């Protein structure tokens, strides 16, 4: 197995939550996450169909250096090796996504070879005592559906429900599926995919983004009762990416800019899910872009969920550029990652406490992604990713403070398990606990991974 570790003393204190943290209590879940297109590779194997990301990557100028996910981390062919890494880390759970184009053909019939990969994945997790958090949609829509309009076509929501039905039936009884997730970050799918064109399918219209969001959320709501019927023992929910907004200056105008940012970044998704309505302030930013909503749609979208996954990375500082406009303010003196995102752990606590205050029906929360990209290199057989170690420790502390203040957080998944294909940034940005040499596919546990493993070992009393 091409895996390198370092025989050193315990690194647990480099990342561990504070002494006495509620995160240390029995039952709190620690994990790591990945997504199908970012790690699997095998893009043309065993009947897998083209996805919107295959097409997007093949379009000149869309992805840095013209890179793609054809091989990625070759996870499809290195499954057991990667499962052993999860076991070595000692995580309670693994969050992964299913590649929709891998498991169904254009007529909606199951692809047995593709489905078998996920059966082996779940069986492998179960044999290693690791729970599974399964995401159905992490952005790799089958291209044939995009050719019919993608998420701009209401029919895609119904095709998504059929896909959810197939997979929850096919994978029933395999491993220990603790949770089913409908969508990962519908904001990214809708806005980056259909609003500003930074992600697949690369369309640019705020009106399209609003309509795509509605159909994504409709698909979520349609899938929920199906998932509950097929997997009654599991939790069922959705994962959203959130960020708090802060006024650059303490003026009414900048405070309004911060409100507008949080409306389009957070409430655009949360209000339909938890209140059954779109926030009216959103249409101050996007005048005339309201989606077509049919009778009964919002009741479907606001069906109760068992948990809400939150992906948190950074904050935004906002200033007003005039009525109903916002401008992002960049302060160069603050610590940043190689994504140019500010390191701001306090934002996680502020965000969670605001959600607890604003949503009376807020379900239990899981941090389903948190982590950072850095320029990691293997030196002397080791990767001493100092910034990531400090990042995790400070964010664990922020989560602990939020829990102390009454926020119901039940798990924390570090993003990501391994370096991978980082969407439009190709392979340049490294988020992994595990370093991947993309030429040789050699895996090397970074010091953050060793520290995480040591902490989990000590917590378990091993």
Catalytic residue among 170, 262, 369, 422: 369
For residue 32, what is the enclosing H or E element?
Answer: strand 29-33
263: which 2 tokens? 């409306």
How many helices (H) and strands (E) would you count in the chain?
17, 14
Report which DSSP code applies to 401. H
Burial of 84 (0-12, 13-18, 19+ CB in 10 A): middle
Residue 262 belongs to what H/E stretch? helix 252-262
Other residues' Cβ atoms within 10 Å of the Cβ of residue 112: 12
C-alpha to C-alpha distance for 455 and 448, rounded to whole angstroms: 10
Residue 262 bears catalytic tag: no
Which DSSP symbol is given to 336?
A: B
What DSSP assignment string belongs to 120-165?
HHHHHHHHTT-EEEEEEESS--BHHHHHTTGGGSTHHHHHHHHHHH
C-alpha 39/C-alpha 459 separation (Å) is: 29
CA distance 193 to 211: 12
Cβ-based neighbours of 263, under 8 Å, separated by 6 or more: 279, 281, 282, 285
Burial of 403 (0-12, 13-18, 19+ CB in 10 A): buried
The pair of three-digit structure tokens given for residue 372, joined into one six-digit string: 């950072």
Which residue numbers are catalytic?
369
């Amino acid at each position: 197995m091409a895996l390198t570790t370092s025989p050193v003393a315990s690194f647990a204190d480099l990342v561990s939550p504070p002494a006495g943290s509620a995160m240390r209590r029995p039952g709190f879940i620690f994990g790591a996450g990945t997504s199908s297109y970012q790690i699997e590779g095998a893009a043309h194997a065993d009947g897998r169909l083209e996805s919107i990301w295959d097409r997007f990557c093949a379009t000149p100028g869309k992805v840095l250096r013209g890179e793609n996910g054809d091989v990625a981390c070759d996870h499809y062919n290195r499954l057991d090796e990667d499962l052993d890494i999860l076991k070595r880390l000692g995580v309670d759970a693994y969050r992964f996504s299913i590649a929709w184009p891998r498991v169904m053909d254009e007529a909606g019939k199951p692809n047995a070879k593709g489905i078998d990969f996920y059966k082996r994945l779940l069986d492998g997790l179960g044999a290693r005592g690791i729970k599974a958090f399964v995401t159905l949609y992490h952005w790799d829509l089958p291209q044939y559906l995009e050719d019919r309009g993608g998420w701009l076509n209401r029919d895609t929501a119904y095709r998504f429900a059929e896909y959810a039905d197939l997979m929850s039936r096919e994978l029933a009884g395999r491993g220990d599926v603790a949770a089913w997730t409908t969508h990962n970050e519908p904001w990214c799918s809708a806005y980056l995919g259909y609003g500003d064109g930074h992600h697949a399918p690369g369309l640019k219209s705020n009106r399209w983004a609003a309509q795509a969001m509605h159909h994504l959320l409709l698909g979520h709501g349609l899938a929920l009762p199906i998932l509950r019927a097929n997997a009654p023992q599991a939790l069922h929910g959705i994962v959203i990416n959130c960020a708090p907004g802060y006024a650059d200056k303490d003026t009414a105008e900048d405070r309004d800019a911060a409100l507008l940012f949080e409306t389009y970044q957070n409430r655009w998704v949360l209000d339909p899910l938890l209140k059954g309505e779109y926030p009216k302030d959103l249409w101050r930013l996007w005048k005339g872009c309201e989606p077509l909503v049919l009778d009964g749609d919002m009741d479907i979208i606001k069906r109760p969920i068992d948990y809400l996954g939150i992906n948190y990375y950074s904050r935004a500082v906002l200033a007003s550029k005039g009525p109903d406009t916002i401008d992002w303010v960049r302060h160069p003196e603050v610590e940043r990652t190689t994504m140019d995102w500010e390191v701001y752990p306090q934002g996680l606590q502020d965000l969670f406490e605001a959600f607890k205050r604003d949503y009376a029906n807020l379900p239990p929360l899981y941090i389903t992604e948190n982590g950072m990209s850095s320029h990691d290199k293997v030196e002397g057989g080791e990767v001493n990713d100092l910034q990531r170690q400090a990042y995790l420790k400070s964010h664990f502390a922020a989560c602990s403070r939020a829990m102390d203040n009454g926020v119901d957080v039940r798990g924390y998944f570090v993003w990501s398990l391994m370096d991978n294909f980082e969407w439009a940034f190709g392979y340049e940005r490294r988020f992994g606990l595990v370093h991947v040499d993309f030429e040789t596919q050699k895996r090397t546990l970074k010091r953050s991974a060793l520290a995480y493993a040591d902490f989990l070992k000590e917590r378990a009393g091993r």
